Structure 1
Amino acid sequence: MNITTILFYCMIATFTPGPTNIVILSTVHNHGAKKAMNYTYGATVGFGLLLVISAMLNTILITFIPKIIIVMQIIGSIYMLYLAYMIYKMDVSNSTEKETATFLSGLLMQFLNPKVVLFTMTVIPTFIMPNYSSSTAMTISILAITTIGFLAFITWVFFGTIFKAFLQRHNKFVNILMALSLAYAAIMIWM
């Protein structure tokens, strides 16, 4: 197995904008880094769980991939459009502390995020299973990939924190831009 290839694939898939990263950035923008970290921890656990599920059930999933992809596209697109609408409608002038961006919402988002689901369904069977069959190698691989995902999420929290003042000055524009990015991602699932 070429470690450089798997690392490159993992970095591109986790660090590039996607629904989770956009929600993290929006959460930092509207509620601060501490709230975003709660979401990030949940997103990381959900990401790791999906990797474990992929590893354990890969042979069964291969039979049903076309059906799973279609269902996840529908559910994921609808959820992403809902998030886009919520971000667009978000009004930070009424700064009431809502129970959004919690650990649980971060965890659940991963199971509805087509980018993460497709990534976890491909990374294990493509890069790990052809080269390693031991449970130790699988566990180490899952932990390493989960760590890369966590670092990607933390990067979005970090940059959101750095640019928070700028983002708050241009609140409506930022919310519209993030909402359009999510809507674009939802539409691109079908292209």
Structure 2
Amino acid sequence: MNLSSFFIYCVIVAFSPGPANIVILASVQNSGMKKTLRYIAGASIAFFLLIVASVVLGQLLTSSMPFILPVLRIAGCLFMLYLAYQVYTMDVSKSSGNQTTSFTSGFLMQFLNPKVVLFTLTVIPSYVMPYYTAGPVISAFVVAVSLIGLSAYMTWAVCGSLFQGIMQKYRRTTNTILALFLLYSAIVVSGIPELIKG
């Protein structure tokens, strides 16, 4: 397992601008940290539940249909390529500040957020399950990914307007670097380097 690629993928997806991060950024500016923490709590719990669901689903499918993991690897690779393009072309100035900041809205938004759903459904099956099957090891990765997600939400909340200003000022450079990291992760998870090595 390529741990560097795994953690790069997790960090880039978690910290790159997306619907939840943009709402957190806007809500800190509009509603304050206290109300935003409710939204972060809902989003974080939903994120954790989606990762757990992907592990359970992955284990069930792996035991009966071993071919599903290569399919998930391909899906994860294609999603990362799509996400790299989205990050490269993203304009973070178009944030949605009118969204509610309740626990429920944070929780439900994760299930409607294609970035989070596709990430959580592919990250553990694509990176971890081809190499590890022990419950405690997989659980440790679930916790690690969940903590990365929570730390990303908190970072967006704490940095608030400062982070938004930096992203807008250096948007092209920042988005290009994030997109290149995602491209690297997509190549690794696709299995192409393994095929080249023979």
Q: How would you bin the TM-score normalised by the shorter chain?
A: 0.5 to 0.7
| Larger deviation, residues 41-50 vs 101-110 | 101-110
* Alignment-derived partner of residue 119 in structure 2: 119
The AA in structure 1 aligned to 2:149 is G
Structure 2's unaligned 5+ residue stretches are: 63-67, 73-93, 169-198
Structure 1 distance, partners of 2:143, 2:135, is 12
Structure 1 distance, partners of 2:162, 2:13, is 23
Q: Secondary structure at the match of 2:133?
A: coil
The alpha carbon displacement at 1:87 in A equals: 3.5
Q: Secondary structure at the match of 1:101?
A: coil
TM-superposition CA deviations, 1:75-131 (whole Å, max 9, x none): xxxxxxxxxx9937x4xxxxxxx9x31112111111110000010111011111001
The AA in structure 2 aligned to 1:160 is G
Equivalent residue pairs, number: 138
Residue identity over aligned pairs, in percent, reads: 44
* Alignment-derived partner of residue 41 in structure 2: 41
Change (3 A) 1:86 1:157: closer
Structure 1's unaligned 5+ residue stretches are: 66-84, 91-97, 167-173, 175-191
TM-score normalised by the chain length of structure 2: 0.62
Structure 1 distance, partners of 2:163, 2:156, is 11
The alpha carbon displacement at 1:33 in A equals: 1.0
| Two-structure CA RMSD over aligned residues (Å) | 2.9
The AA in structure 2 aligned to 1:119 is F
Alignment of 1:13 onto 2:22: no
* Alignment-derived partner of residue 107 in structure 2: 107
Query: Which 4+ runs in 1 deviate beyond 4 A?
Result: 59-65, 161-164
The AA in structure 2 aligned to 1:21 is N
* Alignment-derived partner of residue 87 in structure 1: 96
